[in-house]
C-alpha cells in the first residue's frame, strides 16, 4: 500500500465522486490487505483511530466487517444501534455530525434515506461512509467487483449481469445504482436484466451510459433472463422495486410494486440451474445476502460450484479496510 493517501479526508457517499484509477486502487489495496491477513502479517494502518458506526437498521455483514476491520487495522469501532440515543429525530443531524467529529476519525452511516447521509456529510468534519441507503451501497458494490477482479486481475470485457429476481418483499435500488456508477468506469460489459417497468432512475441510467462511453464499457438492458445469462462471467442475483416505488425510501420497501401485487406474474424470474447453464462454465454467481432462497435463487445454485456468495461476503472485510485505510 502506498504511503501517499490522496483520498484521505474524503467522504464515500457515491462512486460518482471517485475516478476509475481510485476505484482500482482500492481494489488492489483490498487484495493486498487480504493477503497480509492470510499470511498473519500485522497491518495496523489506523492505530489509534476511531470509527463511529451509526445504524438505522440492523446488519450482520456490515457491522461485523467494519468492526473487525477497524480492529485489524489497529483502530476501534463504536456501534450505535437503531433507536439509540443518536437516532434520527432525537436531535438534528447537524448536532450529531458536529459532536461526533470531535470524538472520532470517521463516521459510517447506514441510513434509510440518502438525504440524511448527505446532511451528515455536510456538517461532519471527518469522512462519512455510506454503509447502505435507498440510493446506493458503494461498499457492497466494491466487494462484488473484487471477486472477478481478484481472479482475472482485470474487469475489462467482463460480462457482469445484474439479474432481477422475484422476492416476496421489495428491495431498494442501492446496490444496482452503485454497480452502475462504478462498473461503467471499469471497462465492464454491464447487463441489467429485469421485467418491463423495473427500470432504474433515468438520470442514473444516463450517467452510467456517459461513463460507459468515456471508459470503454458497455451497458445493455435485457428483459429476458435466458438471453441475459448467455456467456455471463458473473450473474449477480438482485431483486428490486421499480424506481418510482424505491425512491420513497427504504422504510416503505416498495410495498405497492407490481411484483408484490401480482406475484404470480413475476415468480418465474428465479435463478436456477437452467439459467446458470446458459452462462460460461466458470460463471460466478453472486448475491449480496440475505437471499430469499426459493424465490430469488434456488438453494442448489447458492450451494453449487459456481456460487461465490461467501467469498463475496468476506470481501466486505477487505474492501472496507481498504476504504478506511485511505479515507481515515
pLDDT digits (tens, 9 = 90+) for 237-268: 999 998 877 655 455 555 678 999 999 999 99
Rounded distance between C-alpha atoms, residue 93 and residue 128, angstroms: 13
What share of residues in the chain are helix, strand, coil (percent, to 5)? 40, 15, 45
**296's grid cell:** 430469488
> How many Å separate Cα 293 from the centre of its chain?
20
Mean pLDDT of 35-41: 97
pLDDT score for 249: 46
Mean pLDDT of the chain: 94
pLDDT score for 5: 66
Bridge partners, 237 (sequence order) = 163, 287
Rounded distance between C-alpha atoms, residue 49 and residue 328, angstroms: 8
pLDDT score for 84: 73
Angle subtended at Cα 114 by Cα 112 and Cα 119, rounded to the nearest 5 degrees: 115
Rounded distance between C-alpha atoms, residue 201 and residue 214, angstroms: 20
Domains and CATH numbers, the chain: 15-136+315-327 (3.40.50.1370), 140-313 (3.40.50.1370)
**60's grid cell:** 450482520
Task: Record the pTM.
Answer: 0.95
Rounded distance between C-alpha atoms, residue 65 and residue 316, angstroms: 6
pLDDT score for 126: 98
**94's grid cell:** 447537524
Amino acid at each position: 500500500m502506498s504511503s501517499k493517501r490522496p483520498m484521505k479526508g474524503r467522504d464515500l457517499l457515491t462512486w460518482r465522486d471517485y475516478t476509475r484509477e481510485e476505484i482500482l486502487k482500492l481494489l488492489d489495496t483490498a487484495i493486498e490487505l487480504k493477503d497480509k491477513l492470510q499470511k498473519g502479517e500485522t497491518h495496523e494502518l489506523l492505530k489509534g483511530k476511531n470509527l463511529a458506526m451509526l445504524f438505522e437498521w440492523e446488519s450482520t455483514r456490515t457491522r461485523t466487517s467494519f468492526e473487525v476491520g477497524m480492529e485489524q487495522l489497529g483502530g476501534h469501532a463504536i456501534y450505535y444501534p437503531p433507536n439509540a440515543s443518536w437516532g434520527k429525530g432525537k436531535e438534528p443531524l447537524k448536532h450529531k455530525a458536529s459532536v461526533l467529529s470531535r470524538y472520532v476519525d470517521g463516521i459510517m452511516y447506514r441510513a434509510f434515506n440518502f438525504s440524511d447521509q448527505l446532511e451528515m456529510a455536510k456538517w461532519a468534519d471527518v469522512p462519512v461512509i455510506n454503509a447502505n441507503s435507498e440510493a446506493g451501497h458503494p461498499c457492497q458494490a466494491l466487494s462484488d467487483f473484487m471477486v472477478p477482479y481478484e481472479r482475472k486481475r482485470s474487469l475489462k470485457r467482463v460480462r457482469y449481469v445484474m439479474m432481477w429476481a422475484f422476492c416476496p418483499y421489495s428491495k431498494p435500488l442501492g446496490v444496482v445504482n452503485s454497480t452502475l456508477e462504478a462498473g461503467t468506469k471499469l471497462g465492464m460489459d454491464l447487463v441489467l436484466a429485469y421485467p418491463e417497468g423495473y427500470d432504474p432512475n433515468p438520470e442514473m441510467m444516463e450517467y452510467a451510459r456517459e461513463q460507459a462511453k468515456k471508459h470503454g464499457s458497455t451497458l445493455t438492458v435485457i428483459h429476458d433472463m435466458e438471453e441475459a445469462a448467455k456467456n455471463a462471467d458473473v450473474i449477480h442475483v438482485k431483486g428490486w422495486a421499480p424506481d418510482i416505488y424505491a425512491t420513497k425510501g427504504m422504510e416503505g420497501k416498495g410495498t405497492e410494486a407490481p411484483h408484490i401485487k401480482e406475484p404470480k406474474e413475476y415468480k418465474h424470474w428465479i435463478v436456477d440451474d437452467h439459467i446458470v447453464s446458459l452462462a460460461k462454465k466458470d460463471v460466478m454467481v453472486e448475491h449480496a445476502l440475505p437471499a430469499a432462497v426459493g424465490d430469488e435463487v434456488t438453494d442448489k445454485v447458492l450451494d453449487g460450484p459456481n456460487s461465490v456468495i461467501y467469498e463475496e461476503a468476506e470481501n466486505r472485510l477487505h474492501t472496507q479496510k481498504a476504504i478506511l485505510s485511505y479515507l481515515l
